[in-house]
Amino acid sequence: MATNYREMSAAELLSLEPPGWGGALLDGLVVSLQVALLGYAIGIVIGLGGATLKRSGGPVARDLMSVYTTFVRAIPELVLILLAYFALPELLNNVLSVAGFGRIEINGFAAGVLVIGFVQGAYATEVFRGAIASVPVGHIEAAHSFGMHPLRIFHRITIPEMLPAAIPGLSNLWLIATKDTALLAVVGFTELTLAARQASGATKHYFLFLLAAGGLYLMVTLVSAQLFKWLENRVSRGTRYA
């Protein structure tokens, strides 16, 4: 059954029920947000670890972190995605078969989360390093002298005190994460951008669907910016120059 898309109005084309393609776009948006959220979370974990290493690790750890950030900053995400999607599974399978395990497969979702987490980790390291440096040393020393466990100091003193300085950077990183998910379209992973492309290819209404996807991205950006502003106000309660 062929649908006559040519004579449908924009509202019909964008409706959530087929033959409209709005539902496909929203599904794509959800997938994009999932990849972005997971990658962002991984990035924050890497960033916290990396910042701690850069501040208090040995010279080797510090230099290795510099190598990591340099590579991530210089190599396009698109190339990293190809590496994660094509080269990494092959490498893992070679290693696994030597060790006598079966083959594994990395799908588009996992590759996307991995790459975005890897990239975000490098930038988050810098954000957290700067933010942690803004915590007065005296506060941490005071906690030390009370006999607090270092981990406890980290989550009771360091993290709450550095958040006001870290939130603007983190907000920026989240926006980058949501936009970077679009690159997964290149390896054929159906997130929002590729969903829009498929919808426009099927209906021949290229302009409409690509603009609609742009509108969705813009909405995510604007809503996130508001959320982060609220968060920034919240975490900087009680700071002197908030």
Could you list the residues that contact other proteins (CB under 8 A)?
59-60, 62-64, 66-67, 71, 73-79, 82-83, 86-87, 90-91, 175, 179-183, 185-186, 193, 196-197, 200, 204, 206-207, 210-211, 213-214, 217-218, 221-222
Tokens representing 68 are 């990591």
Q: Which is nearer to other proteins, 157 or 181 (CB)?
A: 181
* 1 three-class SS: coil
Q: Which is nearer to other proteins, 36 or 235 (CB)?
A: 36
DSSP 203: H
Biggest alpha carbon distance in the chain? 76
Q: Tokens 């990658």 identify what position? A: 39
Q: Which is nearer to other proteins, 163 or 177 (CB)?
A: 177
Residue 40 CB, shortest distance to other proteins, in Å, is 16
Residue 152 CB, shortest distance to other proteins, in Å, is 29
Q: Which is nearer to other proteins, 8 or 78 (CB)?
A: 78
Residue 13 CB, shortest distance to other proteins, in Å, is 14
Q: What is the dihedral of CA 25, 27, 31, 34, to 10 degrees?
A: 120
* 107 three-class SS: coil
Q: Which is nearer to other proteins, 30 or 218 (CB)?
A: 218
Residue 74 CB, shortest distance to other proteins, in Å, is 4
Residue 186 CB, shortest distance to other proteins, in Å, is 6
Residue 67 CB, shortest distance to other proteins, in Å, is 8
Look at the alpha carbons of 126, 128, 131, 136 in this order and tell me if their dihedral is positive or negative.
Answer: negative
Q: Which is nearer to other proteins, 95 or 142 (CB)?
A: 95
Please report, for residues 36, 137, 200, the alpha-carbon distance to residue 126 in angstroms, rounded to integers and kept in the order given: 19, 19, 40
Q: ∠ CA 135-136-140 to the nearest 5 degrees? A: 90
How big is the chain, counted in residues? 242
Using alpha carbons, select from 152, 132, 134 the residue that is nearest to residue 143.
152
**In contact, 187 and 230? CB cutoff 8 Å:** no
